[in-house]
Amino acid sequence: MAAVMVEKHGFDGLWVSEHFFNRNSFITLSTIARHTRRILLGPAVVNPYVYHPAQMAQAAATLWELAPHRVRMAIGAGDASALKQLGYAREKPVEKVLWAVEEMRNYFEKLETYRVWDVKVFVGAQGPRMLKASTKADGVLINWSNLEMLKESVRLLGDDVAKGFTRAAYLMTSIHDDAEKAWKTAVPYAAYLMIGSSPSYLNRIGVDEAHRKEVEELVITRNWDRLYQAARSEWVDFFSVWGKPEKLREFVDEVVDMGFDEVVFAGPLGPRYMKALKSIAKICRAVKRRAKP
Amino acid sequence: MRRRRVAEQLLEVLMSSVNGNLVPPELGWELFGYFVEDELWRGKGFRVLLKACRICEPEKTRMALRGEFR
């Protein structure tokens, strides 16, 4: 239903997250493909530890047959703690992701079964090395929800990219007319991102290991009341865009002015999903009008 | 129409719920069928929507039926 609403509200596309503890992204996308007509579809992100590039190519090509010309792929290193639970060590993530991008493209070309030619491949990136590596793909999904890191990412990417390369900002979003409600909805999601973040970023925002572990325990045990008490603005603000719709509008304007081609609004969207979706659609229309030459 | 407004609120209850996984797949697909036909606001569609909402969020469902879910 969410996908049908997304298309109805005029969004250009959607990404479906891929975590082993959630529904399989490709099966979900296949279902979405059958009930939508226009929006771009893709998993974000699939990782090359769990999926071999041959499987990525196979899945993308099969999805393409259900939704011709509407398929995109986003490949990333994956969540380290989730991979650990599956017994994978996330070794050489940048090299592994680049290999996957290259191999997947090779399979598209070499194997006669596949008739796809326009699947745009994105790399999911946060750190400097992955950002630089992403320029070898067709686009980058930059997983930061604060202006400072997004600005830094654009600077690190530089201008030496292929024509048509797409820069997309992937924002963890929670909006509501009542900012407090928006904050409360954002906290568990920001907490999840924070506890999996590298120490270098946590040091940057003054989060020590003791606090990280405390929050991790609260998330694992789903102790939300205690989590709200323990939540700090340093990391909620760093890992999410939360507040009233006007605040998101200003944020998106700044992101577009930085040079981003796309903005991805990642869940929860807000404590009232449909209301948030409507607000975000309105923001996108306004931003597009402003950006028109 | 009041029934449409109530159905809209109920749908918001469902779409905003973190307990969506409690809705059995068969019920979910039945609901989807009424959703795409814009039939959630009346008859069997409304009853299916109500059933799904009560499974996920019983208290918020009561609020929505009173027109108080914002």
Q: Do B12 and A4 touch (CB under 8 A)?
A: no
Predicted ipTM? 0.96
pLDDT of residue A174: 98
* Residue of A175, A273, A279 to mutate, interface with B, max B Cβ within 10 Å: A273
Question: Do the Cβ atoms of A272 and B32 come within 8 Å?
Answer: no
- The token duo for A103 is 């191999």
From the CA of A31, how many Å to the nearest CA of chain B?
11
Write the CA distances from A147 to A66, A70, A100, A137, A250, integer angstroms. Answer: 37, 30, 30, 24, 11
Name the residue among A1, A272, A275 with its Cβ closest to that of B35. Answer: A1
Residue A102 Cα to chain centre, angstroms: 21
Rounded to 10 deg, the angle between the B43-56 and B58-65 helix axes is 140
- For residue B63, the model assigns a pLDDT of 94
> Considering CB atoms only, which of A4, A274, A275 is closest to B36?
A4
Residue B56 belongs to a domain: yes
Choosing among B10, B12, B16, B53, which should be mutated to test the A contact, i.e. which has the most A CBs within 10 A? B16
Q: Please state, in angstroms and rounded to a whole number, the distance separating the CA atoms of residues A209 and A187.
A: 18
User: Domain count of chain B?
Assistant: 1
Closest residue on chain B to A275 (Cα): B12
- With CB atoms and an 8 Å threshold, state whether B16 touches A274: yes
Contact A274 B36 (CB under 8 A): no
Beta bridge partners of A74: A44, A122
Cβ contacts of B8 on chain A, cutoff 8 Å: 274
Q: What are phi and psi of A140, to 5 degrees?
A: -135, 135
CB–CB of A48/A99 below 8 Å?
yes
Between A and B, how many residue pairs show a Cβ–Cβ distance under 8 A?
A: 22
What pLDDT was estimated at residue A81?
Answer: 79
Yes or no, beta carbons of B12 and A273 under 8 Å apart: yes
Does residue B25 lie within any of the structural domains? yes
pLDDT at A292: 74
Per-residue pLDDT of chain A (293 residues; tens, 9 = 90+): 999 999 999 999 999 999 888 899 999 999 999 999 999 999 999 999 999 999 999 999 999 999 999 999 999 999 887 898 899 988 999 999 999 999 999 999 988 888 888 999 999 999 999 999 999 999 999 999 999 999 999 999 998 899 999 999 999 999 999 999 999 999 999 999 999 898 999 999 999 999 999 999 999 999 999 999 999 999 999 999 999 999 999 999 999 999 999 999 998 999 999 999 999 999 999 999 987 77
CB contact under 8 A, B12 and A1: no
Which residues of chain B make contact with A271, given a CB cutoff of 8 A?
16
Structural domains for chain A: 2-176+241-288 (3.20.20.30)
Q: In which domain, by residue range, is B56 found?
A: 2-65
pTM above 0.90, yes or no: yes
CB A44 within 8 A of CB A141: yes
Asked if the structure places residue B70 within a domain, the reply is no
Interface test with A, best of B9, B11, B15 (most A CBs within 10 A): B15
Taking residue A199's Cβ as centre, other Cβ atoms within 10 Å add up to: 11
